[in-house]
Amino acid sequence: MNRFGATILDAEGLTLSAAEKTFFRQANPYGFILFARNIDTPDQVRGLCAEMRACVGRDAPITIDQEGGRVQRLRAPIWTEWMPPLDFVAAAGARAAEAMYLRYRLIAAELNDLGIDSNCAPMVDIAGPQTHDFLRNRCYGTSPETVATLGRAAAEGMLAGGVLPVLKHIPGHGRASLDSHYDLPTVDAPHDALSAHDFAPFKALNDLPMGMTAHLVYSSLDDRPATLSPKVMQVIREEIGFDNLIMTDDISMKALQGSLTDLSRAALEAGCDVILHCNGSLDARREVAEAAGPMSFAAQTRALRALNARIAPDELDIPAARAQLQTLLHGT
């Protein structure tokens, strides 16, 4: 098999332009990601997914950010509007794990219906006093044990629905007091504290098929952002034990400084398997694809292993699942 391009890329609109189709055929990205600008009607999304896969001539994974709360690309009135995860967990109380499974099983059903077979969740960053507002209510809890349990429930719900989960943000974003979309956060906690607390949910979920890096500096590990750090990647692979596919968070985020070429190469040299690039021009996407090149043989092995984790969805009585979830959240 020809090696996949070491990229996950997006599209500008509701359909692919002729130039995008030509580019995707040449670049052969491992997969694609959708944003709100790519979403209109169910039939339109199905058509766009089909166009993307036709360009590369295979059943490429197509992912999306469908966490709930502020971060969800599929919105009402066509799709379910979900409350933020932290509020959802509070509403479910002692039965939060069961509710979280149903939440993500229903999310998976909506995604699978559209041809989307991956979701950038669970997010197992741990909320703390300093967690920036951009992240806090996206978290599942404030303890490693709670977050790991609920992350597992979310992942199992997606996998049962034929959707590949993407574990994020490895090795933990909860201590960051800045928004990495705009600034580079630095976490000064010692390594042993990070290992015992922040890394713990990722260790517990290190069998999930895909993960996404965090754009922040852990000063006790390296002075480079985790996405670009061979030292942090060694911690992820060896200490956390995550040996499946690792994608970068979006390398166009302002936490990372440098050209797209330099950032792409540095992330791959650090040990990431695939470059996620979003919200750029066609020329920017070309630059990333050229810099990334084909996947390494090790990355391709992990990429194929992730694809093999896709299964046909189990049967789901959607009205019954929704009713059960309402009972868990409201007791009626």
Q: What is the reported pTM?
A: 0.96
Average pLDDT (257-268) is 97
| Whether the predicted pLDDT of 1 surpasses 70 | no
Q: CA 318, CA 324: separation in Å to the nearest integer?
A: 10
Query: Which residues make beta-bridge pairs with 71?
Result: 68
Catalytic residue among 132, 181, 191, 197: 181
Q: Considering only the C-alpha atoms of the chain, give the largest distance between any 2 of them, rounded to a whole number of Å.
A: 55
Task: Say what the pLDDT of residue 332 is.
Answer: 57
Of the pLDDT bands very low, low, confident and very high (cuts 50, 70, 90), residue 2 is confident
Task: Say what the pLDDT of residue 53 is.
Answer: 98
Give how far Cα 281 sits from Cα of 13, 20, 303, 315, Å: 12, 10, 26, 40
> In this structure, what are the phi and psi dihedrals at residue 128, rounded to the nearest 5 degrees?
-145, 180
Containing domain of residue 135, as a range?
5-330
197 is catalytic: no
Closest listed residue to residue 107, CA positions, set 332, 313, 328? 313
3-state secondary structure at position 276: strand
Instruction: For residue range 16-45, list pLDDT tens digits in order.
Output: 999 999 999 999 999 999 999 999 999 999
310: Cβ–Cβ under 8 A, 6 or more apart, which residues?
A: 61, 117, 162, 164
Q: CA 108, CA 298: separation in Å to the nearest integer?
A: 29
Instruction: For residue range 72-118, list pLDDT tens digits in order.
Output: 999 999 999 999 999 999 999 999 999 999 999 999 999 999 999 99
293: Cβ–Cβ under 8 A, 6 or more apart, which residues?
A: 5, 6
Eight-state DSSP code of residue 84: P
10 is catalytic: no
Contact 9, 32 (CB under 8 A): yes
- How does the average pLDDT of the chain come out, rounded? 97
Q: For residue 294, is the peptide bond before it cis, meaning its omega torsion is within 30 degrees of 0?
A: no
Give the total number of structural domains in the chain.
1
CATH number at residue 76: 3.20.20.300
> In this structure, what are the phi and psi dihedrals at residue 71, rounded to the nearest 5 degrees?
-105, 85
Average pLDDT (263-283) is 97
Contact 212, 170 (CB under 8 A): yes
Give how far Cα 165 sits from Cα of 34, 153, 178, 249, Å: 15, 11, 25, 14
Instruction: For residue range 209-231, list pLDDT tens digits in order.
Output: 999 999 999 999 999 999 999 99
Q: CA 40, CA 224: separation in Å to the nearest integer?
A: 39
Place of tokens 């950010």: 65
Q: CA 331, CA 203: separation in Å to the nearest integer?
A: 34
Amino acid identity of residue 44, one-letter, is: Q
How many residues are given for the chain? 332
Catalytic residue among 249, 250, 273, 277: 249
Give how far Cα 137 sits from Cα of 82, 85, 240, 247, Å: 12, 6, 25, 23
